Structure 1
Amino acid sequence: MARAIALMVFIFALVPVGASAKDTRFWNLTANTITSLQLSPAGKNDWGRNQADNDSDHTVDHDERLKITDTAPGAYDVKFTDKSGRTCVVPNIQLAAGAVFTIEEKDLKGCTK
């Protein structure tokens, strides 16, 4: 019995703390720096707070990753404004806990200035 307990303690000691608690992140693969990024449950037009505020300079540069907070996994529409003044909505992006989602320039259709 003592061996079984010792083995379990050893196994749990090898599992990293918080291994399942990775942050969900957005990876900006658009051509411009993003100044505002908001999420809405897909099709709801109920925009949440500016996630770009999670970054120290409140922007998301090209090829930068941004921590997404207070957002459950699911399908979301993503609305952003970039430094060029362009506003875009990308529909039906899947967010998974602890995963990275991207938006690329080729994903953008119907942006407005």
Structure 2
Amino acid sequence: MRNAVSLLMAGLIGLAASSAYADNLSFTLENQTPNMIVQFYATPADGGTRSELLNKKGLYGGKSRQLTIADGSDACVYKIRAVFENDSFYDVRDEVDFCENDTYTLAD
């Protein structure tokens, strides 16, 4: 009986630990601007750690790339910022729900 209770408790603890983290969120970033994006950040809308998603790989205008948010949070909604090669930047005014959107396009 003790072993059965121990196994049940271990299973419940494992289940709770695995559900505490969301799956990684993947989406396609489309750069429809004439400028190269040199940094692309995502921050959970309710606060948390900002993640740099391009990892020092630029994204030229007219190109797209699959990116993954693997920040260990269970967030779906993010604030994002794109930094371009000329040091200008673009902050998204509205929050983006990456659980609902698998593509995000930056355009002029």
What is the aligned counterpart of 2:84 among 82, 85, 89?
82
Conservation of the 8 A alpha-carbon contact between 1:24 and 1:67: yes
Q: TM-score, length-normalised on structure 2?
A: 0.59
Aligned-pair identity in percent equals: 13
Deviations 1:5-33 (A, max 9, x none): xxxxxxxxxxxxxxxxxx52111123310
3-state DSSP class of the match of 1:46? coil
**Residue type at the aligned position of 1:33:** M
3-state DSSP class of the match of 2:50? coil
Conservation of the 8 A alpha-carbon contact between 2:34 and 2:61: yes
**Equivalences for 1:31-110 in 2 at 5 Å?**
31-42=34-45, 44=47, 46-48=49-51, 50-53=52-55, 58-69=57-68, 70=70, 74-91=76-93, 92-96=95-99, 99-105=102-108
Structure 2 Cα separation of the partners of residues 73 and 61 of structure 1 = 28
Q: Return closer, same or farther for 1:95/1:73 CA change in 2, 3 Å cut-off.
A: farther
**Residue type at the aligned position of 1:25:** T
Q: Which runs of 5+ in 1 are unaligned?
A: 1-22, 106-113
Structure 2 Cα separation of the partners of residues 29 and 94 of structure 1 = 20
**Alpha-carbon offset, residue 98 of structure 1:** 7.8
Paired positions, count: 79
Q: TM-score, length-normalised on structure 1?
A: 0.57
Deviations 1:24-79 (A, max 9, x none): 2111123310000010112527311x2112xxx71011121122112667221111
Q: Return closer, same or farther for 1:73/1:65 CA change in 2, 3 Å cut-off.
A: farther
Structure 2 Cα separation of the partners of residues 90 and 47 of structure 1 = 14
RMSD: 2.6
3-state DSSP class of the match of 1:32? coil
